[in-house]
Amino acid sequence: MSLITVLPDVFEQFSAARQKGFLTVMDLKEQGIPLVGTYCTFMPQEIAMAAGAVVVSLCSTNDETIEEAEKDLPRNLCPLIKSSYGFGKTDKCPYFYFSDLVVGETTCDGKKKMYEYMAEFKAVHVMQLPNSAADAASRALWKAEILRLQQVIEQRFGQPISEAALRAAIALKNRERQALANFYRVGQLNPPALSGADILKVVYGATFRFDKEALISELNTMAEQVRADWQAGERLDARPRILITGCPIGGAAEKVVRAIEENGGWVVGYENCTGAKATERCVDESGDVYDALTDKYLAIGCSCISPNDERLKLLSQMVEEYQADGVIDVILQACHTYAVESLAIKRHIRQQHNIPYMAIETDYSTSDIGQLSTRVAAFIEML
């Protein structure tokens, strides 16, 4: 049976994974398995996994609860922060409701202040992220924060974390990263094998699949099938190839991907947190486990890190590997670090790669869809 008849159903299953996962977390709670909620790729999931906990991504990409959040938070705040807080406050996110602990991080000032309010109705632990990744003091701080997180999790769940358990968790998480990368790198095929929307359904939906062995198997099987069918001639039409960078994409922010693909382009890769930023680098499985975790997570090219050399390196790598014709930088409103960094990204893309760049500022509402479509259409027409 061909790719075209089989895979759309699989993509829809991943697209619906967030809703279906609600029932899974209820089952996990009934089994007495601890749940640790997180919002950010900086959170070292291996620590919680080594304690026998399941890590779940919390709801934060929809405007459903923003109105309620704005009763406590400023209106001119990043929609991701307001959505995160609103879903927690209203108990409309079952993942948040069932989490025994929420692990936050100081990736921006808005988030770290929001966590203070969230701690009034949920157990919250905040990891103090250094501003730099380049010096010994910053590295020492992050290693100490990883050790502090381990102590908090051990105390909360009454489960000492052995080195053997931590190494096993690292190995499993690495295999998951490799399987995810194996799948989303089908975007490197030219002409494309899949739309960017279908790639995103799988990558975003994978965060709500908790049986990692099953997930790894599914991802690798899909990647093999896509490549085999592409070799057999099942390909999309040739269009301008767009690489997305910037803030996390998923949920309501998928409107950017739709605008690109409805106006004559294909999204072939995601450099942002939803895609390669969190996945391309694995944890070194030799040597000291805490040094290895420190090195991996400090190498995430987030705009909160200054200077953010890792983002530029990964962007250059992906522009070449995905044969990008243009780069679109997606910036959520009031996300100041990504907004300010857009100048550096524009210079890098234009000077180092000589391809067009465009920055888009948006939120989770539908009010800008028309304007978004017009701007994206003009950008793609220029390509």
The contacts of residue 375 (CB under 8 Å, 6+ apart) are 358, 360
- The identity of residue 91, as a single letter, is D
Report pLDDT for 7. Answer: 63
Output the pTM of the full model.
Answer: 0.95
User: Among 109, 110, 105, 66, which Cα is nearest to 88's?
Assistant: 66
Q: What share of the chain is helix, strand, coil (3-state, %, to 5)?
A: 55, 10, 35
The 10s digit of each residue's pLDDT in 89-103 is 999 999 999 999 999
Residue-wise pLDDT for 252-267, tens only, equals 789 999 999 999 999 9
Nearest to 54 by CA among 11, 16, 99: 99
Token digits for 358? 């465009």
Q: Tell me, what's the pLDDT at 8? A: 66
The predicted pLDDT at position 5 comes to 46
Q: Distance (Å, rounded) from C-alpha 106 to C-alpha 113?
A: 9
Closest CA to 47 of 189, 143, 164, 169: 169
Q: So what's the pLDDT on residue 55?
A: 97
Q: What is the DSSP letter of 251?
A: G
- pLDDT < 70: residue spans in the chain: 1-8, 10-11, 15
Can you point out the beta strands (E) in the chain? Answer: 35-38, 54-57, 101-105, 124-127, 241-246, 266-270, 326-332, 357-362
Asked if 127 and 103 count as a contact pair (C-beta separation under 8 A), the reply is yes
Residue 20: the pLDDT is 82
In three-state secondary structure terms, 20 is helix
Each residue of 50-87: pLDDT tens digit?
A: 999 999 999 898 899 999 999 999 999 999 999 999 99
- Residue 315, pLDDT score: 98
**Which domains are delineated in the chain?**
3-163 (3.40.50.11890)
